[in-house]
């Protein structure tokens, strides 16, 4: 079988504290692209710079044509950086990559689109970057627009698109412009369930036609069901490479449970220039941080955050995922989604430190391991939030009570609430009629 991707001693170093670049004009983008080789050469002299860290180091991997490879690992392990290097969005610091075929990619929302261009113009721009002729792009154009479901906004500059619209158009372009290699990051989680299902069907269709797919995901169910191979990336290096079920099992077993995560100052904390995360903790009713909670006890999730902008209004959200990465529930703090009123849910915040607590009822979750993701935003939306930290804490629910003693098998599902049952006799014994 022919090789689709060869990764030879790949490394990528970043400088801590470097400023992110905002989008610029097309001319500035082209200037940056032309001068990139010279800037890369100058960066090679900074190896001894103590403010740098390696996001990837000595990555060696070969991927055959037609393989569907899932990339898993904790946040910050280097998964997304690997896809950016393969997409040629980011230049490697060392090593090389050989790509045998046309590459389509869908990484973070909006990557590859110029915000000043319309959706229509970005389709043609993306196709041209992939080396396609205008005739080829026009042949697939209607199919791309139909898949993305944004025909009404096709001639609107993409800087006005919502995150969901970005994802729809981005995936449609990446998957329909005949790529031999498709790179997809966790960004598909932004879309709704129907759109995610459509994307998965499209990826399965591509694999049947011999296309190669690299998929970064925290959803272990998707990895085990869609992929023929999985690679666990840990601290910038491949730690395990093999059958998805084996790699996922090893990864889940290795994940250390952490009932509390905290950051000492806003400068070091995740977030934006509006809001930063101070801490997240899983607690019992007495306020103790616990990574193991009895099934018949309530579970409190405490989120502390710094508001940095006078008068901002915030909505908080939690996503609870089971041990396979599937979302069990989502809870938001706006009034129609809560029991009782949160006094700060729609109230302007002064600058300062705030605390929100969400309570999960007892006898609700099944006995297994869960992770919590935290979002804080100034609006109610399914797009990118001002603050989002995935899998920031984890905990296990354990059951040593009567239910476990009476039923010896494994309970199915991620939730296991005690529900009301009642039975009554409707007719007499048939033999007595």
Tokens 């969400």 belong to residue? 358
Sheet hosting strand 315-321, strand order edge to edge: 292-294, 387-398, 369-377, 315-321, 327-332
Task: Give the mean model confidence (pLDDT) for residues 176-204.
Answer: 77
pLDDT band, very low/low/confident/very high, at 145 (cuts 50, 70, 90): very high
So what's the pLDDT on residue 44?
Answer: 47
- pLDDT tens per residue, range 16-74: 654 444 444 444 555 555 555 555 544 444 444 556 789 999 999 999 999 999 999 88
Q: Where are the alpha helices (DSSP H) in 52-162?
A: 79-86, 119-129, 134-148
So what's the pLDDT on residue 157?
Answer: 92
* C-alpha torsion sign, points 55, 58, 64, 69: negative
Whether 130 has a pLDDT exceeding 80, the answer reads no
Q: Which residues fall within 8 angstroms of residue 194, CB to CB, at 6 or more apart?
A: none
Fold of 3-254: Rossmann fold (3.40.50)
Q: How far apart are the first and last CA of the chain?
A: 74
Residues β-bridged to residue 262 = 279
- pLDDT tens per residue, range 249-296: 888 777 667 899 999 999 889 999 999 999 999 998 888 888 888 888
So what's the pLDDT on residue 47?
Answer: 46
Domain boundaries, the chain: 3-254, 260-406
* C-alpha torsion sign, points 323, 263, 301, 289: positive
Give the separation between CA 302 and CA 108, rounded to whole angstroms.
29
DSSP-assigned letter for residue 132: -
- Spatial contact of 102 and 128, defined as CB atoms under 8 Å apart: no
- Spatial contact of 243 and 230, defined as CB atoms under 8 Å apart: yes
Buried b (16+ CB within 10 A) or exposed e, 311-329: ebebbbbbbbbbbbbeebe
Q: Which residue has the higher pLDDT, 194 or 187?
A: 194
Q: Which residue has the higher pLDDT, 218 or 228?
A: 228
Q: Which residue has the higher pLDDT, 426 or 17?
A: 426
Task: Give the mean model confidence (pLDDT) for residues 153-167.
Answer: 86
Whether 190 has a pLDDT exceeding 80, the answer reads no
- pLDDT tens per residue, range 342-367: 888 889 999 999 999 999 999 999 88
Q: Which residues fall within 8 angstroms of residue 147, CB to CB, at 6 or more apart?
A: 168, 171, 172, 175, 176, 198, 202
Choose the weakest-confidence range: 119-123, 315-319, 365-369, 400-404. 400-404
Angle (deg, nearest 10), helices 163-176 and 119-129: 40
Q: Which residue has the higher pLDDT, 232 or 161?
A: 232
So what's the pLDDT on residue 20?
Answer: 45
Average of per-residue pLDDT values in the chain? 83
In the chain, % of residues over pLDDT 70:
84
Give which of 72, 129, 84 is closest to 325, Cα–Cα: 72
Tokens 């030879």 belong to residue? 8
Give counts: helices (H), strands (E), the chain.
Answer: 9, 18
Token output for 239: 């730690």
Task: Give the mean model confidence (pLDDT) for residues 389-405.
Answer: 81
Question: Is domain 260-406 given the CATH code 2.70.50.60 in the classification?
Answer: yes
Q: Output phi, psi for 315, to 5 deg.
A: -120, 135
pLDDT band, very low/low/confident/very high, at 383 (cuts 50, 70, 90): low
Task: Give the mean model confidence (pLDDT) for residues 407-421.
Answer: 81
Give the separation between CA 313 and CA 145, rounded to whole angstroms.
36
Q: Is the pTM of this model over 0.95?
A: no
Beta strands in 169-222 (DSSP E): 181-184, 212-216
Whether 6 has a pLDDT exceeding 80, the answer reads yes
* C-alpha torsion sign, points 235, 240, 244, 245: negative
Q: Output phi, psi for 30, to 5 deg.
A: -65, -40
């Amino acid at each position: 079988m022919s090789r689709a991707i060869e990764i030879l001693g790949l490394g990528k170093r970043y400088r801590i504290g470097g400023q992110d670049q905002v989008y610029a004009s097309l001319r500035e983008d082209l200037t940056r692209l032309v001068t990139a080789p010279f800037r890369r050469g100058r960066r090679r002299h900074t190896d001894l710079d103590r403010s740098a860290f390696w996001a990837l180091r000595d990555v060696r991997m070969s991927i055959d044509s037609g393989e569907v490879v899932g990339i898993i690992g904790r946040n910050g392990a280097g998964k997304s950086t690997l896809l950016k290097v393969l997409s040629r969005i980011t230049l490697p610091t060392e090593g090389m990559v050989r790509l045998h075929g046309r590459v389509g990619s869908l990484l973070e929302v909006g990557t590859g689109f110029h915000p000043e261009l319309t959706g229509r113009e970005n389709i043609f721009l993306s196709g041209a970057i992939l080396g396609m002729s205008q005739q080829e792009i026009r042949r697939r154009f209607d199919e791309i627009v139909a898949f993305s479901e944004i025909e009404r906004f096709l001639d609107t500059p993409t800087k006005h698109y919502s995150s969901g619209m970005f994802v729809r158009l981005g995936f449609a372009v990446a998957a329909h412009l005949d790529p031999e290699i498709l790179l997809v990051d966790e960004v598909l989680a932004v879309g709704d369930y129907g759109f995610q299902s459509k994307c998965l069907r499209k990826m399965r269709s591509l694999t049947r036609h011999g296309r190669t797919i690299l998929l970064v995901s925290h959803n272990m169910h998707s990895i085990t069901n869609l992929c023929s191979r999985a690679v666990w990336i840990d601290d910038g290096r491949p730690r395990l490479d093999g059958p998805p079920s084996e790699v996922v099992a090893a990864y889940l077993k290795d994940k250390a449970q952490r009932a509390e995560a905290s950051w000492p100052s806003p400068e070091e904390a995740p977030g934006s220039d509006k809001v930063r995360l101070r801490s997240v903790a899983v607690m019992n009713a007495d306020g103790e941080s616990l990574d193991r909670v009895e099934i018949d006890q309530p579970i409190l999730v405490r989120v502390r955050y710094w508001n940095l902008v006078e008068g901002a209004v915030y909505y908080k959200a939690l996503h609870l995922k089971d041990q396979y990465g599937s979302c069990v529930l989502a809870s938001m703090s706006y009034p129609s989604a809560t029991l009782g009123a949160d006094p700060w849910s729609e109230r302007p915040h002064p600058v300062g430190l705030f605390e929100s607590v969400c309570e999960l009822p007892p006898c609700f979750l099944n006995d297994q391991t869960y992770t919590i993701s935290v979002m804080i935003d100034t609006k109610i939306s399914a797009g990118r939030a001002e603050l989002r930290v995935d899998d920031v804490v984890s905990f296990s629910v354990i059951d040593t009570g009567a239910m476990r003693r009476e039923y010896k098998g494994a309970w199915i599902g991620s939730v296991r609430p005690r529900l009301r049952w009642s039975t009554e006799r409707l007719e007499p014994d048939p033999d007595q009629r």
